Amino acid sequence: MGMIHCEYARLAADDFDKARTDLTWALEHIDELAGEWTQVDLPAKEARYFSIGTVWGPLHTVLRVHGGMPVDPVHGGAELASTGGITPARYLGPEDVEKAAAFLVGTSFDALAPLAADHVCDEDVCPDPGEHAAETDPERLAEAYAELAAFYGAAAEAGDAVVLMLN
């Protein structure tokens, strides 16, 4: 699991409508956004494409253990299309993006930190925690959480949908 990355793409309302009806266009557009992101290296708040890298599993575990997520910002949403990734690409519409952003922005990582120490690496995410030390480092998890909150916050502010992919 160490090489699987969780990646996100923000789609404006018109692009979101088009993506749901033209899957070929959607995947090409997401690839273009990914290319721009790797070249420009924008901060999460400004990026149209973003990745939390390989910490997605432990971060998702911490979020699940905490509870209270109105929608799942890591594994949630409806299926969009198969991308050749680990799972099909999924999306959260603008209303769900607002809910995810409200939770992420409104819940500090410090509120999750006590849970992180005990539950950051359950058997489903990493059966051998020693093998995933980089992914379970509390500082790296806090950084990924802050970036994810900034990304979702900006998406919600713009009224965008978010596509989620495990690649």
Could you tell me the CA-to-CA distances from 51 to 59, 99, 115 in Å, in that order? 13, 20, 23
Compute how many other C-beta atoms are within 10 angstroms of the C-beta atom of residue 66: 16
- pLDDT digits 0-9 by tens, 105-151: 999 988 876 555 444 444 554 444 444 445 567 888 899 999 999 99
Task: Report the sign of the C-alpha dihedral through residues 16, 22, 38, 141, in that order.
Answer: positive
The residue with greater pLDDT, 164 or 83, is: 164
Residue 117 is predicted with a pLDDT of 45
pTM assigned to the model: 0.85
Q: What percent of the chain has pLDDT over 70?
A: 82
